[in-house]
Every structure is written in structure tokens, then in C-alpha cells.
């Protein structure tokens, strides 16, 4: 697929959504007229409405209670103010045991990591402490920013630099 | 200030009633979106639970750069993709492949119900060939009817990347349908004129 074809295929989807300017639509039609590969691609990528209803239709039995049960535990935790730096040290120690933890330091305030990737994970730390990894801004996923709400309403950010092979 | 903005602000201050009002009616969409991305009932249930826990945790920091529903979609998709990766990383449990929910989407008639169940099974089978991102884009676009630009914001991808994922997903699913379930292939779509 050459760059003309790639551009045509990108515009094809805009055209389907009726968001393509008339002169670009005409150009797309010209390209489709001349290019059998893109005509084939057009057929192969037609919208599929067969699966349209699959995110509607009621919650399966027990799911609502399961969700609410988890929330109740979390609400109590927030009320009890267990979110503090001290409370996650056992969890961090467990993480360290699971993989090579190179450096840990704590800071607060602005996000210290540069914008970059869109990776985003949640670390399920031990001891029932869930540390949410807000941003991973390194292409090798070596730098993890953990953000924990504090009971006071403030915010503590902890940056972990972990071994690249560590699987969270 | 809209009613929703008021609810968000109150829930962010820890008002449980406001939070419950805010999430009521959104659990279904969150669960099924997670289920279609993850493909396993227990994982989807865990993802849905974590979505609302996370929402409760981070609501005090919500800033309306993204609509509330898009924001909720972002949390759902991120956790669902994370769950896919974790599932792929661990050894396959015998018999767990393609596990089905205890109940499936409800539709108007028993006949429709049956068809819907079959369509659900087909999707679970065919979508295994998609990457988590392709699958997430497809679910947001073809099942939740979001615009590709909105999906791009939710997934922090360029709109062009979203369109590319969407094309790859449709191609793979169409290929699977034609091969294994030709009776479900959309009729008359081949060769249709571009609008
Ligand atoms: Zn072409």
C-alpha cells in the first residue's frame, strides 16, 4: 500500500462519517475508481452493525452487588483515611520482593513526568492496597507514577523506577 | 452549573448519594464494554468494579476537559486493556477460554434473544484475533456508537490511528464471519458506494 492508498483509506472512514470536504471526497472517488486494491479494502472495511447491541441489555445477575460491594469497601477505606504514604510501604516492599526495585522517592505537586506515551496500568499491590499507576511516560515502561489520594484531600505522588522486566 | 456537574462536584466531596446517582444507569454500559473488550465474565466484573472504585478515588480531581462519560469510558478501556494484557501474560486456565456471562444482553423477544446470544458467542470467538486496542476501538465505535475523534481522545491516540485500528478490526471480523459464519455476513454491503 503506497502513501496515496494510505491517505485514501484514512479519508474513506471520514467519508463514511460524512466528515470529508466535497473536493476531497471527489478525489477519493477518483482514487477508488483507479485502484482495485483500495476498492477491495473499501469492501473489507465496511461498518459491521451485526454486533451493535452487545453493550446494552441489563446487568447479569450479581454484577451490580459485586460492583457496589467493592465500592462500599473503598468508601470505608476513604473514611478511615488509610490512604497515606506509610500505608503503602508494605505494598512497595512486596513489589520490591517481586522484582528489582531500583529507586523509590516521594514528592508532591505537579506531575513530574514528561508527556509522551499513552500507556496506563493499574498495579494491584499486596496487602489489599491498590496503588493506581496513573501515567507511564517511558517507552520501556520503566517509570511508573503512582498517585494516591490522601485523607486530607492532598495528593502524594511516588515515582518508582523499576526493572524493565517487572510485570505489574 | 448542570445537574450532572453538581452531582460530580458533590460526589467529589465525598457525598455518597450524589455518587450513587451519578453511577446509576452507567454500570451496565461499563460492564458490557469491559466484557466485550476482555471477553471473560469474571475479568469484566472485576474491571467494572475497579472502574467505579477508581472513579470514587479520582473524582475529586475531575476536570471537565473530557465529558464525564468519555472520562468513564477512558477508565473502563484502560482497565479492560490492562486486564487483557494480564490475562495474556498468565498461563491459560483449561476451560476458561471464551467463558460466557451468567446472563446475556436482554432483547425484546425470545427469538431475538437467541440470535443475540449467538451473535455474542460469534463476537467472542472472532474478536480473539484482535489486539486489545483494535478490539477496544471496535467496541467503542460499533457497539457504543462513538465518533472516531471522541475515541481518539478517550484512548489518547491520533484519530488516524483510531481509524486504522477500526479498519483492521472490521477486516478481521469480516474475514472470520465469511469463513465460519457466512449466514451472518451483512448482505449487499460488498461493493457499496462510498457516501
Ligand atoms: Zn489505492
Q: Is the CB of residue A45 less than 8 Å from the CB of residue A5?
A: no
Nearest to A67 among B48, B102, B192 (CB): B48
Confidence of residue A151 (pLDDT cuts 50, 70, 90): very low
Ligand 1 centroid to residue A44 C-alpha, Å: 14
pLDDT number for residue A128:
32
Residues 6+ apart with CB under 8 A from A5: A31, A35, A37, A38, A41
Domain spans in chain A, listed from the N-terminal domain onward: 3-44, 83-162
pLDDT number for residue B48:
95
Residues 6+ apart with CB under 8 A from A133: A120, A121, A122, A123, A144, A145, A146, A168
Residues 6+ apart with CB under 8 A from B83: B34, B38, B43, B44, B46, B47
* Residues measured by CB to lie within 5 Å of ligand 1, the ion: A 5, 35, 38
Ligand 1 centroid to residue A43 C-alpha, Å: 13
Which backbone phi and psi does B130 adopt, to 5 degrees?
-90, 155
> Is residue A10 helix, strand or coil?
helix
Chain A CB contacts of B14 below 8 Å: 78
The residues facing B70 across adjacent strands are: none
Flag if A49 and B142 touch (Cβ within 8 Å).
yes
Model ipTM? 0.84
Flag if B102 and A46 touch (Cβ within 8 Å).
no
Domains and CATH numbers, chain B: 1-90 (1.10.1740.10), 113-195 (1.10.10.10)
For A83-123, the pLDDT digits (tens) are 333 334 444 444 433 332 222 222 222 333 333 322 233 33
pLDDT number for residue A1:
72
Amino acid at each position: 500500500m503506497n502513501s496515496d492508498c494510505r491517505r485514501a483509506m484514512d479519508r474513506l472512514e471520514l467519508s463514511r462519517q460524512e466528515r470529508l470536504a466535497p473536493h476531497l471526497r471527489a478525489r477519493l472517488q477518483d482514487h477508488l475508481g483507479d485502484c482495485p486494491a483500495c476498492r477491495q479494502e473499501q469492501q473489507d472495511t465496511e461498518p459491521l452493525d451485526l454486533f451493535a447491541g452487545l453493550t446494552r441489555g441489563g446487568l447479569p445477575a450479581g454484577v451490580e452487588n459485586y460492583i457496589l460491594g467493592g465500592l462500599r469497601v473503598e468508601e470505608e477505606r476513604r473514611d478511615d483515611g488509610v490512604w497515606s504514604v506509610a500505608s503503602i510501604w508494605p505494598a512497595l516492599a512486596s513489589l520490591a520482593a517481586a522484582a528489582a526495585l531500583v529507586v523509590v522517592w516521594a514528592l508532591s505537586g505537579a506531575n513530574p513526568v514528561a508527556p509522551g506515551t499513552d500507556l496506563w496500568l493499574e498495579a494491584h499491590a499486596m496487602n489489599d492496597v491498590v496503588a493506581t499507576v496513573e501515567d507511564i511516560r517511558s517507552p520501556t515502561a520503566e517509570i511508573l507514577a503512582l498517585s494516591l489520594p490522601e485523607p486530607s484531600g492532598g495528593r502524594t505522588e511516588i515515582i518508582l523506577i523499576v526493572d524493565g522486566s517487572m510485570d505489574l | 452549573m448542570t445537574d450532572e456537574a453538581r452531582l460530580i462536584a458533590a460526589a467529589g466531596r465525598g457525598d455518597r448519594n450524589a455518587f450513587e446517582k451519578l453511577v446509576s444507569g452507567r454500570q451496565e454500559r461499563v460492564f458490557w464494554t469491559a466484557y466485550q473488550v476482555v471477553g471473560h465474565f469474571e475479568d469484566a466484573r472485576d474491571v467494572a468494579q475497579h472502574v467505579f472504585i477508581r472513579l470514587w478515588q479520582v473524582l475529586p480531581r475531575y476536570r471537565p476537559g473530557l465529558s464525564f462519560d468519555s472520562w468513564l469510558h477512558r477508565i473502563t478501556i484502560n482497565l479492560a486493556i490492562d486486564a487483557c494484557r494480564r490475562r495474556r501474560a498468565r498461563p491459560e486456565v483449561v476451560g476458561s477460554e471464551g467463558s460466557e456471562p451468567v446472563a446475556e444482553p436482554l432483547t425484546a423477544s425470545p427469538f431475538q434473544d437467541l440470535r443475540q446470544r449467538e451473535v455474542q458467542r460469534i463476537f467472542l470467538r472472532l474478536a480473539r484475533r484482535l489486539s486489545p486496542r483494535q478490539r477496544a476501538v471496535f467496541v467503542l465505535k460499533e457497539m457504543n456508537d462513538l465518533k472516531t475523534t471522541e475515541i481518539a481522545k478517550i484512548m489518547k491516540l491520533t484519530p488516524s490511528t483510531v481509524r486504522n485500528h477500526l479498519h483492521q478490526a472490521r477486516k478481521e471480523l469480516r474475514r472470520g464471519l465469511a469463513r465460519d459464519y457466512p449466514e451472518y455476513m451483512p448482505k449487499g454491503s460488498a461493493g457499496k458506494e462510498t457516501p
